[in-house]
Amino acid sequence: MNQDLSIISLVIDASLLVQAVMLLLVLISIASWTVIFRKFFTLKGAARAANRFEDEFWRDRELGQLYQQIRESRKDPGSMARIFDAGMSEFLKARQQTPGDPQSIVDGSRRAMRASYQRELDMLESGLPLLATAGSVSPYIGLFGTVWGIMNAFRGLANVHQATLAAVAPGIAEALVATAIGLFAAIPAVIAYNRYAHDIDRLSSRFDSFMEEFSNILQRQAR
């Protein structure tokens, strides 16, 4: 490829609209990669925190001690610990207010855990809609730039007495760059979205299982 058809030259010589499309796709790609890296560390940290908490929870110790430890800790205990904190806090309050109604105590604790679970899930899922949008929209934005560039290339043939491949090659090449940038923005976003959605589903299942097991423990204690 000669210098006139280098990637940088194609971008610089592209029409203003195609350049705007390329710039938009670059911004989408930067936003996607920002979410990808941030979500990677968030989900890894959430999984490690859940492992640590389950080790502490199933250790032979009083739940009240674990509850106080979480309350007094200055570090982020993780999503599962916060769900436990919400359920245990509601359990202790309800047991003082309605000591003779075990079922009501456990139901209130379960509702508190469910509300905390939903907040944690919303936090873990933040950013995924951006990845989904980038993955689905970027190819079409790039295709729009490509179509526009090819239209300009063929329109330029109207002023040429003899149509040759050399006459339209630069215009078509610069148009195809927009498609390439669109795919570059879309493919990582789609891969990351599918991977992170799977990881969040696994964490969600772990949280659900923990809430059921913890509710059974509270049911026995309430009696």
**Rounded distance, CA 12 to CA 4, Å?**
10
- To 5 degrees, how large is the angle CA 114–CA 116–CA 189? 105
Judge whether 64 and 89 are in contact, CB under 8 Å. Answer: no
Judge whether 77 and 53 are in contact, CB under 8 Å. Answer: yes
Q: Is 127 left (phi over 0), alpha (psi -120 to 50) or beta?
A: left
Judge whether 17 and 148 are in contact, CB under 8 Å. Answer: yes
**Rounded distance, CA 150 to CA 158, Å?**
13
Listed by start position, the domains of the chain span 3-222
**Rounded distance, CA 218 to CA 223, Å?**
9
Tell me which range, 7-11, 65-69, 164-168, 205-209, is most confidently predicted by mean pLDDT: 205-209
Unique residue bearing structure tokens 């006139």: 4
Q: Is the pTM of this model over 0.75?
A: yes
**Rounded distance, CA 214 to CA 211, Å?**
5
Using one digit for the tens of pLDDT, what is the confidence trace for 64-97? Answer: 888 888 888 888 889 999 999 999 999 888 888 7
